[in-house]
Amino acid sequence: MALVPNSYPIHTKSLYQPPLTEVAEVFRSYLPTNFQEVNVSVVECPDLTSKPFLLAAGGLNGNAKLLEIGGTQYLLPLVTREKLYDLLDIAKSVALEPAFLIGAGAGPHPFIGANCEGIVNLKIEKGVADQQTRTSKVEGADEYMVVQILPNNETRIALLGNIFASEGKPGKVIKVHVKKRTGAKNFIETLRNAIEEKYGKDQLVGIGGAFLIAEGKAKQHVMRDFSKTPLTSEDDVNNWLKFYEMSAPLTALGTFTSNDGADLDLRVQHFHSFSTHGEAGHYHYDTTPDTVEYLGYFNVAQEVVRVDKPESGSKLGRD
């Protein structure tokens, strides 16, 4: 069964929304701790439907919000299979029209036939979906990766999702362009630590968008099919996941926050990436620090919509 409005609890909270120029300066000051070449600016958003991003809408503006759906508690230690969420219905319930949704989640296992990653990339206008979401699953004895684009009539995710939602309009965004990683943190962890240091526990800031790994390679995982035995530790989870080294160009979509929102139990960072060469998965970090190049466009959300928050506050399986 898919989500219909109000069938799962939905809670909305306003976020602290600092000016883009302020956030850009926070990034600009912090990024040199982890990258050799750093350029950060506030720009008009380019057309993100074009190569290399290939998104379903061109911009990141208009009623921007974070959709925090479900959680890893519905996957671990054993799956709760009935947790399915229709993004078409969620967009209606939060009055987004048109709606442009990008981010990271679990794909619709009833449609795919197995557990899978979801790389959400969806535009909805007047109830009609332009579905550019990819799924990625592990298949066969050789455990090869299978990536596909969902059809327009399949708008569900399962279990969990961390999605940046807007009307997809043009407007100002933060452009972040870095090269050569010199520290141990990944790209998003560096950006998240920057806003965590600036805004801390007192002010909840939520950011989402897209970044390109333009050069280099990245360690990413794809979930295997649902475990039949309970996964109760991080070692259990990591042994269950299938890790791959994936090649640029990779387009990554997701969200990050300055803290977990206390009772909201937010996932502080989560990005999935896709490509046009048959690779897609959950971003961990690049494996080519000397040659890596990241190019990202981000916007600050005005509110977070918490859908079906799990009762347990377990942090298992959250990177």
Q: 57-90 pLDDT, tens per residue?
A: 999 999 999 999 999 999 999 999 999 999 999 9
Sign of CA pseudo-dihedral 5, 168, 124, 318: negative
Residue 98 lies in a domain: yes
**Cα–Cα distance for residue pair 164/143, rounded to 1 Å:** 31
Tell me if 2 is assigned to some domain.
Answer: no
* pLDDT in the model for residue 257: 98
Q: Is residue 190 part of a domain?
A: yes
What pLDDT, on the 0 to 100 scale, is given for residue 7? Answer: 77
Is 37 among the domain residues?
yes
* Sequence-ordered strand ranges (E) for 115-263: 117-125, 128-131, 134-139, 144-149, 156-166, 172-181, 206-215, 217-222, 242-247, 250-257
Indicate if the pLDDT at residue 158 is higher than 60: yes
- Find the mean pLDDT for residues 171-179: 99
Q: Is 317 contained in some domain?
A: no
Does a structural domain hold residue 4? no
- Tell me, rounded to whole angstroms, the distance of Cα 34 from its chain centroid: 21
Residue 191: domain span: 13-307
3: in domain:
no
* Number of domains making up the chain: 1
pLDDT single digits (tens) 103-153: 999 999 999 999 999 999 999 999 999 999 999 999 999 999 999 999 999
Residue 121 domain flag: yes
Task: Say how far apart CA 171 and CA 56 lie, in whole Å.
Answer: 16
**CATH value at residue 170:** 3.30.1330.80
